[in-house]
Structure 1
Amino acid sequence: MKLLIIGSVAAGTSVGAKARRNSEDLQITIYDRDQDISYSGCGIPYFVGGEIADIDELTPRDAAFFKKRYNIDIHTRHEVESIDHATKTATIVNLATGDRLTDTYDTLVLATGASSIVPPLQGVDHDNVFTVRNVRNADAIRSYIDAHNPKTATIVGGGFIGLEMAEQLSYRGIQVTLVERLPQVMPPLDRDMAERVADHLRDKGVSLLLGESVTALNGTERVTDIALESGKSIATELVILSVGVKPNTELAKQIGVGLGQTGAIAVNRKMQTNVADIYAVGDVAESFSVITGEAIYRPLGSTANKMGRIAGMVITGEEAEHRGILGTGIFKAFDLTVAQTGLTEKEAREAGYDIEVLHNIKPDRPEYMGGKEMTIKAIADRATGRVLGAQIVGPQGVDKRIDVLATAITFKAKAEDLFHLDLAYAPPFATTKDPVLYTGMALDNAIKKTARLMTPNELIEQVAGGKSFQIIDTRSKAQFEKNHVDGAIHIPLGELRTRAKELDPTLPTIVYCNKGVTGNAAQNVLKNLGFTDVCNLSGGNKNYQHCKKCLTE
């Protein structure tokens, strides 16, 4: 059997490698229009910034490696320009010579990946305008910086790559301005979590222009200034376009392969398309959510490798199915780590879930061992208790927690299950009650209404809508006088039992401390004294002040 694969980055080479491990009888050929194969696209910003010294570190394997190890023929700089599936024939152009050749196949795999979205703007073809997608892009950007030593750069797009590039260009001494058409950086995050990232970027000297759209890149051979829809103009010496990617579906559409609702190729759990003997994997194919079952498009190398392996197994007769994804992602912005998995609060509400939302602010390990505060935002379904998603922002310990939560969500854990996880503990690594355990405990209590929560946004919205609360600040006098929730009265926790008679036990009551723990203790005191409607403010005053700022900016 002849297996023809179009595309040789993560997904395509994974198909070939797994298929070969399962069978020596296959004739496996891969064509790719690029000159680099099996490269680490996610490492590109770090090469540009100099953390990766040699570009060859991004391309550890070449065609000779795959021929020797797997007996796979990989032809780079060969573009498949057309396919006749009736005769199972492909027409290929050798981009180095211009010659055309044909090849045949029994089974075809589309691993054509995705391309950077280039907005149709004046000036996008100028010498100092770059996208960030492949190894050649990385080399071009770093070479340009080395040759021209720009002092300013503008990044268009505030997603993963845009923020990583902002960090790395800043490390090179370049003043960075980031333009994002949405009112927040990191669209995969909820606004309240994204603002924590934005604040950190500003602290590190990155200028953010949010809710702004680029209308033109002005200059002759090079862009010298960028025009914005608001009428503002940015002087710049370097432009990085990072507004997203689109799946390369041209060949698929040519032969009747169907696209899904995300615009990527629709596949079943075996990575098969609607056309017999044609598979699609990697950034050209859509996946589906582990939680909702709905189609989802999150082009990541980890997912591409997984899809490729599954296709290789199925093609060679092995039983395998793709189980979906959570869209888990992580990146660093200077000394801040940002991660998310599963549904955001916004996505969960749009999907129709009645949710409980918790903001848990805890150190990753004891402060006496150098612990630093992280903020965990977790979402759970009130009806079933199932954890639906989490977002974490903090300087350290984030990667460990997001992977625990992603694993738990994948196996449909409930909030109460998180508390019962037997996680590793020693002071250099965690607190006795790990932030994941506390997240599960507090979420479960809220769902079962033994310790109800109210988010700052809910409180602000309900007060604005005319609802009245008696709001109790249980912190110290100095903390209260520095700042407090609008309309709060000050009763420290130690005085609450004796001063509870000053309050009306029939009124809706909100209690809070600085981060949430003492507020929970105050909540229990009032409940035990007969107060019928008491909520603890999720994340305490610290979270409230942050969310209030988000709503007013």
Structure 2
Amino acid sequence: MKQKILVIGGVAGGATTASQIRKLDKESTIIMFEKDEYISFGNCGMPYYIGDIITERDSLFAATPQSFKEKKNIEVRTRHEVIDINRPSKILTIKNLQTEELYEESYDKLLLAPGAYPFVPDLPGIGIIPSFTLRNIEDMDYIKQYINEHTPSSCAIVGGGFIGLEMAENFTQIGLDVHVIERSEQVMKMIDPSMAEHLHEHLKENGVHLLLNSSLEGIESDRTLKLSTGEQLKVDFLLFAVGVKPKVDLAEKAGLTIGETGGIVTNEFMQTNDPNIYAVGDAIQTFHFHLQTPKRVPLAWPAHRQSYIAAKHIAGEPVSFKGLLGTSIAKVFHLTVAATGLSEKALNQMEMEYKTVEHSGKSHAGYYPGAEYVYIRVHFNPLDGKIYGAQIVGGDGVDKRIDVIVTAIYGGIPVHELQALETSYSPPYSSPKDLLNIVGYKAEDMIQKTK
């Protein structure tokens, strides 16, 4: 049945959903509204463009409004902001930001992909020093322009999460003296403290000044940063990387349910409490794979998967969403850190019984040049070996091993059965018994001791 499908927001959520719908439905009208200028770009590549690792700005762009129209027959209206959703009438009110014109557009199905705002704390003196966030292309260009025009020598990054550490590496790459201010006792709060210690040491080895248990309290008139520890710091500019807030204003105004995580509540088909309105991406609340509890994960993979689920349902070919583990990975100088599922802290908070198997070893055969240490922690049910979560920090091969563990979780493979996986072996890549095989052998002994 031919429908009129409107999409609010582009990038990983909106643009991907629109494309997926078109693959399944060649007849329906699809119109996408994007408040900004760009509709499809590689957010995750922005730190590396600032750090001169990616040298071609245009390589970050996956599609344009013109290519969407020519290749997919999807109309894209950039610099258009949807300001109201009339649910009973199924009509949007839209503002053309270039002409200030207001107009209306009806819909049969509506997809929300509004994304999230970077969180910036309200601090005394915040306007005294140049301050940035990194959420979109405009932010990236603003930072790049400032660095090129003012040639700063130092900066402070507020927040030690993914963006904070990736930017610490890339700012260091271009010669800046970098300070990371993190209010908790460790960076990367989703990993266990013992794993974070490897990152702390590595950051310091690469010249980053790591200020843990410290928060920014304000900026003096001479650009001096005042920290909660009493320490004072002078830098040329600030980058705030303290997380994001879901953009739910429009959804909330329309009476859509907002959940305890602050995101738009969706079901297993990405429908909101209005069955004609779907939502995907950074602004939504779904559920945890293990616990079935509310969860919001503002990362690229969830947005892409949710887009497929929403598109399939809109096209009349429903596939249900299975929940999120929160799988993530980041490059921090010469180390890679990856995590999936429940951490030690989360398991303790849930008062769940668990065991932890740990192993460290070389990324490949030790006699082959370039072998690097890899550290693995896997949390599991001590009775049946069900894997709850894992973290890996190290050199080569972190990515493939975390992906094997994710596959095991989704496939219901218990931790002790990792020993039976016939992993590929050649000296440049692994060892005859892979690190995960050994994790499985160790876990088997731990499970036997609980019987």
- TM-score normalised over the length of structure 1: 0.79
Match of residue 382 from structure 1:
382
**C-alpha distance in structure 2 between counterparts of 1:218 and 1:277, whole Å:** 51
Identity of aligned residues (%): 38
1:83-126 alpha-carbon deviations (Å, 9 max, x no partner): 11111111111112222121111111111011101111234445
- CA shift for structure 1 position 8: 0.7
- CA shift for structure 1 position 274: 0.7
SS in 2 for 1:185: coil
Following superposition of structure 1 onto structure 2, how do residues 57-456 of structure 1 map, counting pairs within 5 Å?
A: 57-125=59-127, 128-219=130-221, 224-370=223-369, 371-449=371-449
Tell me which amino acid in the other structure corresponds to 2:372.
Answer: K
SS in 2 for 1:321: coil
Match of residue 475 from structure 1:
none
Tell me which amino acid in the other structure corresponds to 2:181.
Answer: V
* Bigger Rg over Cα: 1
Match of residue 468 from structure 1:
none
Tell me which amino acid in the other structure corresponds to 1:152.
Answer: S
1:139-195 alpha-carbon deviations (Å, 9 max, x no partner): 111111111111110000000000000000001110000001111111111111111
Tell me which amino acid in the other structure corresponds to 1:270.
Answer: F
1:405-461 alpha-carbon deviations (Å, 9 max, x no partner): 1111122221221111111111111111100110111012111119x9xxxxxxxxx
**C-alpha distance in structure 1 between counterparts of 2:276 and 2:131, whole Å:** 40
Tell me which amino acid in the other structure corresponds to 2:40.
Answer: S
Match of residue 509 from structure 1:
none
Match of residue 55 from structure 1:
57
Tell me which amino acid in the other structure corresponds to 2:300.
Answer: G
- Is the 8 Å Cα contact of residues 55 and 139 (structure 1) preserved in structure 2? no
Q: Which has the higher contact order (CA 8 A, sep 6+)?
A: 2
1:469-498 alpha-carbon deviations (Å, 9 max, x no partner): xxxxxxxxxxxxxxxxxxxxxxxxxxxxxx
**C-alpha distance in structure 1 between counterparts of 2:217 and 2:182, whole Å:** 12
Match of residue 19 from structure 2:
17
Q: Which has the higher helix share?
A: 1
RMSD over aligned CA atoms reads 1.4
- Is the 8 Å Cα contact of residues 384 and 414 (structure 1) preserved in structure 2? yes
Structure 2 stretches lacking a partner, 5+ long:
none
Structure 1 stretches lacking a partner, 5+ long:
453-553
Following superposition of structure 1 onto structure 2, how do residues 396-545 of structure 1 map, counting pairs within 5 Å?
A: 396-449=396-449
- Is the 8 Å Cα contact of residues 158 and 240 (structure 2) preserved in structure 1? yes
SS in 2 for 1:286: strand
Of 12-21 and 162-171, deviating more is 12-21
- Is the 8 Å Cα contact of residues 80 and 96 (structure 2) preserved in structure 1? yes
**C-alpha distance in structure 1 between counterparts of 2:219 and 2:104, whole Å:** 42
1:511-542 alpha-carbon deviations (Å, 9 max, x no partner): xxxxxxxxxxxxxxxxxxxxxxxxxxxxxxxx
Of 295-304 and 118-127, deviating more is 118-127
- Is the 8 Å Cα contact of residues 356 and 382 (structure 1) preserved in structure 2? yes
- CA shift for structure 1 position 231: 2.2
Of 25-34 and 150-159, deviating more is 25-34
SS in 2 for 1:60: strand
1:349-376 alpha-carbon deviations (Å, 9 max, x no partner): 2223211112201111111113211110
- TM-score normalised over the length of structure 2: 0.97
SS in 2 for 1:75: strand
SS in 1 for 2:169: helix
Tell me which amino acid in the other structure corresponds to 1:445.
Answer: D
Of 153-162 and 231-240, deviating more is 231-240
Tell me which amino acid in the other structure corresponds to 2:113.
Answer: A
Tell me which amino acid in the other structure corresponds to 2:37.
Answer: Q
SS in 2 for 1:439: helix
